[in-house]
Structure 1
Amino acid sequence: MDRVRPSHRPWLAALLVVLGLFGSQRLDASPRPVVVDTRVELAAVANRLAGFEEFSAPGIADYDAAVETHFQRYQDHPVVQLLRALRQQHGIGYSDTVALALAATPHRWQSQQPLALWLRDTSSNWTLDTAQAYLEAMAAFERDTDAAAFFHAQQRFYRRVEAELGPGLQGWPDVAWFEQTLGPQPGLRLQIIAGLLHGRGNYGPRLRGSDGSVQMYAVLGVPEVPPGEANAWPFAAMQRLLVHEFAHSWVNPWVDGQAATLQPAATTLLGATAERMAIQAYGSWQALAYETLVRAVTRGYFQDNGDSASVALLSQEDAARGFGWVPAATDQLRGGARGGRWLNAGTAGAMAALLEAQVAQLQARAAAGVTSVSVARQVPAAGDTQVDSALAQLELYFDRPMGSGVGIFGDRHPTFTGAPRWDADRRVLRLPVALQPSREYVIELNSPSMPGGFAGKDGTVLPAQVWRFRTRALPAH
């Protein structure tokens, strides 16, 4: 699960490697490897009306406008009020509503399997009572908003999106590589879903059948497309995330089965990296272990396929997200393979030792005074609510000399009027802007899910953070 939001400025294009949105494909030959699912769309509409930031980024402008025209009048619907309460009381958001929507029957919004069984097999913030209340409210929302008419009117657009995405993802992933490297997994099926209201967010929910089969979904967001322009799909990035999501189906159950060996080391490493991991919602030892192994497998996949460009991008992303030990983990998996299989009886012990070694390295760095990059000062200051809209330049002061990378993300940052400029010793970055009065700006410095960004010359990385300020109103005349 990637909690990311877009940034689209011409001068940023040369500075940022935009990782785009992701998808996967069914193992059984499907005539439509990518679909638009109205359950996912309607859940996202409700989330937008509830003000969930992760579903509020601009996407395909013409479609966004159609959604707003049809649904904006329902911003006080009971399901919207319920979602706001669930967000505050239970932390519902991101993948939670996506996963439950796909576990529900179309239109009727009833769970396809007993909710208690689904909850037991799903990592989410739902409880039995809140999940049932949400499904009932969504059924009423679909009926009350006449959503069927809206979706019917959008069918031609949906088919066009499916047709554009399908060819670029045909043949992905290489199933034979996974089966040879990680072992066969009968009963696994995959389906890509285009999440047209998800910004750059992507999610990988799973639904286990009564026969033990697993339906895996890769719900991919979309890049921002201005009004009237053609859709542009970042297929290489989609393919990288497809492999990543696919690997979870092997790694997660293996990690769960090796908990006794992995938990102590992963728990200790989580404690040493808690702040960095919490930003990315990796708040458990299992999540840290899943991501370590999945990233190691993904790196190995592209190494074996001779895609050095993807390996380099993955390395940047892993480092930016605080998983600098992934290359060593890939080497360990490859070197410890038995019968060609990376996940074997000896893998857990070797991975535990590797994670323990990372803790020792982090402790040594801390003892030597090597810390993460920090922002010493911002102009305007974070939280300032009286910023003059005539201010033409933002400033970031760093605690050490910086490298050349710039990591600015988000869909609520100011309009940038020129390229960023470093001072002579590369400790101060100045950003030319045009501000509007009475507006809140939110600038994301580095992203936990995007490669590159702000890093010191000493190789340390600025932890992802938010810079928020508000301009004051113009004086009344």
Structure 2
Amino acid sequence: MKHLYLFLLCAMSMSLYAQTILLEKPKVDERVELLSIVFRMAGAEEYSSDGFKLYTDKIYKHFAPYKNHPISAFIQKQRETVGTGYDAVMKMAVHISPAPEFRPLVTFTDNLPERWGKKQAEEFLTLLRQYYKDTKCDAFFVQNRELYRESERLFMPVFNELDTQWYKDFYGKDPKEKFNIILGLGNGGGNYGPDLVYPDGRREVFAIMGTWAPDSVSMPQYGKDIFPTLVHEFNHSFVNYLNEMHKAKLKKSGSSIFGFVEAQMREQAYANWKTMLDEALVRAAVIKYMKDHKYSKEALDTETGIQLNRGFIWIEELVAKLEEYSANRKKYLTLESYMPELIRFYDNISKDFGTLKAAYDKRKPKVAGIVGFKNNAQDVNPNLKQLQVMFDRPLLGKGYSVNLGDKGRDFFPDIKKITYSADRKTVFFEVLLQPGKEYEMVLTGRSFKSEDGIGMDDYPIKFKTALK
């Protein structure tokens, strides 16, 4: 009985601790679904993915008759004037009460929720209430209730594997927030980490996970590969305030680094140096989580390569600093106490960031040439059956990534097959060409990477075939 008592006591302690991190199981939130639906129907590109086609087909079938609802025109104008999109949409979702009231959970201001504006946010909620009523949205949610419950069930294995204790151990502080995992079934590949701070200081943190299906028409499959994203979103709760505390000391170095990578950061909706530094530390902490949980070298290289390719070219050095922090926890009880070292780190790398960037650029694979003709040639043999693109080094050789050119699909070559040479330094494109026709395609670094996971810069290939 004594052993049973101790076992139950331990189990209860673990359960109570887990509840300080994640108070509820993963769920579908109708506020998140509705916000993604209205932005989808208003033409917002970031909410238009059909990755989970089984579900998005249902959305279009139900809501297409209301495409010209007044809320669509409002959203389009809002996006043009203040850029409301991406995470701002999900921030609004968690700042309002459930249907049908949709009342603000906190007092709205011109800066809360972000990128809305007080007057516009209030007008949006008036339109949202009307949209909910006009479109019989409650019926749509009832019709899809089983699909929501099944998606939640499919996510449970991931939920059960998440090591919440790591956050306390690594950051050295007890989380005081309520954590929530929300499945954004209509969000495609978009993942967001908004928070909600109540007037009394209570704070809720949300990991809103995008959803797609393996073959687009079946149910989503949530695997271990989404762990970095899930860990990422919750890291924000422990990271963002640190950079905010030391904003004045980080501004000079952060602004300098942002100048080198601004284009890539803005493509990801990271519009300033502070957001960039938040994201960098969050992403480095994800890699540290993976290291601490003995992920394979391949998985670590893949995650590191993803961050390098996103413009965080100092990520390896930043991870090394987090390793230094972990190795000296008697001196640094919390990551907060280690922040002076990170400030010095950024001061140092910002002084010679151009050299760091040049070294990274050298690691990118580059096209060495095209067999049989030069890029932009105007007299390519239309009987050519194979384009051979040579690189200056072996590629990773896993998958391929080819985008349309500026002129669109009508100018994209008819590619039958893509393969690699034995040494992975040449990519073969089996093609069917037409005489007297212009062609364009763009090789990208999404899959065309070096052996250590560094993606190439976009490389447009343009040519015209000769007449017969």
TM-score under structure 1 normalisation? Answer: 0.75
Q: Supply the AA of the counterpart residue of 2:321.
A: Q
Residues 1:139 and 1:230: Cα distance change in structure 2 (over 3 Å): closer
Contact between 2:206 and 2:233, CA under 8 Å: does it hold in 1?
no
1:227–1:96 CA distance, 2 compared to 1 (3 A): closer
Structure 1: distance between partners of 2:253 and 2:77: 37
> What CA deviation, in whole Å up to 9, does each residue of 1:61-100 have, x standing for no partner?
2222211111001111111111111122221111111110
More helix, by proportion: 2
Residue 201 of structure 1: aligned partner: 190
Question: Which residue in the other structure is 2:199 paired with?
Answer: 210
Call closer, same or farther: CA 1:353–1:252 in 2, change over 3 Å. same
1:62 paired to 2:54: yes
Contact conserved, 1:292 with 1:326, CA < 8 A, in 2?
Answer: yes
Look up the SS of the partner of 1:267 in the other structure: helix
Larger RCO (alpha carbons 8 Å, 6+ apart):
1
Whole-angstrom CA distance in 1 between matches of 2:155 and 2:450 = 38
Alpha-carbon deviation of 1:144?
A: 0.8
- Are residue 182 (structure 1) and residue 134 (structure 2) matched? no
Paired residue for 1:270?
A: 258
* Map of 1:386 onto structure 2: none
Structure 2 unaligned blocks of 5 or more:
1-17, 371-381, 435-439, 463-468
Aligned pairs for 1:20-419 within 5 A: 27=20, 30=23, 33-107=25-99, 108-116=101-109, 119-120=111-112, 124-172=114-162, 174-226=163-215, 229-233=218-222, 235-309=223-297, 310-336=299-325, 337-339=328-330, 341-354=333-346, 356-357=348-349, 360-363=352-355, 366=358, 370=362, 403-405=395-397, 408=401, 417-419=416-418
Going from structure 1 to structure 2, the CA distance change for 1:131 and 1:352 (only over 3 Å counts) comes to farther
CA distance in 2, matches of 1:198, 1:392: 42
Q: 1:344 to 1:164 in 2, by over 3 A?
A: closer
Alpha-carbon distance in 2 for matches of 1:433, 1:356: 53
Q: Contact 1:58–1:199 at 8 Å: present in 2 too?
A: yes
Cα shift at 1:279: 2.0
1:207 partner SS: strand
Q: How does 1:13-24 map to 2 (within 5 A)?
A: none
Aligned counterparts, 1:457-476, within 5 A: 461-463=455-457
Contact map agreement 2:209 2:230 (CA 8 A) in 1: no
Indicate the SS of the match to 1:295: helix
CA RMSD of aligned residues (A): 3.9
Q: Give the corresponding residue for 1:445.
A: 444
In 2, are the aligned partners of 1:26 and 1:33 still within 8 Å (CA)?
Answer: no
Give deviations 1:4-33, integer Å, cap 9, x for gaps.
xxxxxxxxxxxxxxxxxxxxx964565x51
Deviation (angstroms), 1:323:
1.9
> Secondary structure of the equivalent of 1:331?
helix
Contact 1:86 1:92 in 2 (8 A): yes
How many aligned residue pairs are there? 418
Mapped partners of 2:212, 2:74: distance in 1:
29
1:443–1:467 contact (8 Å) kept in structure 2 = yes
Q: Which amino acid in structure 2 is aligned with residue 277 of structure 1?
A: M
Distance 2:292 2:417 in 1: 41
Distance 1:231 1:467, change over 3 A: farther
Q: Which amino acid aligns with 2:241?
A: P
Query: How much does 1:236 deviate?
Result: 1.1
Match of 2:377 in 1: none
Instruction: Please give the per-residue CA displacement for 1:167-191, whole angstroms capped at 9, x wherever unaligned.
Output: 331242x232221221324431111
Counterpart code for 2:196: L
How far residue 133 of structure 1 moved from its aligned partner, in angstroms, is: 2.0
1:380-404 CA distance string (max 9 Å, x none):
xxxxxxxxxx999897978955624
CA contact (8 A) 2:213 2:221 kept: no
**TM-score, structure 2 length as denominator?**
0.76
Counterpart in the other structure of 1:16: none
Equivalent residue number for residue 429 of structure 2: 430
Task: For 1:136 and 1:393, locate their aligned partners in 2 and report how far apart those are by CA, in whole Å.
Answer: 59
What is residue 21 of structure 1 aligned with on the other side? none
- Say if 1:400 and 1:277 are closer, same or farther in 2 by CA, change over 3 A: farther
Identity %: 23
Equivalent pair of 1:329/1:351 in contact (CA under 8 Å): no
Inter-partner Cα distance in structure 1 for 2:432 and 2:38: 33
- Tell me if structure 1 keeps the 8 A contact 2:305–2:452: no
Could you tell me whether the CA contact under 8 Å between 1:396 and 1:428 is conserved in 2?
A: yes
Q: What residue identity is the alignment partner of 2:306?
A: E
Q: Which amino acid aligns with 1:116?
A: T
Contact 1:195 1:220 in 2 (8 A): yes
- CA shift, 1:427, in A, is 7.0
Q: AA paired with 2:429?
A: R
The alpha-carbon deviation at position 311 of structure 1 amounts to 2.4
Whether the 8 Å CA contact 2:239–2:281 is kept in 1: the answer is: yes
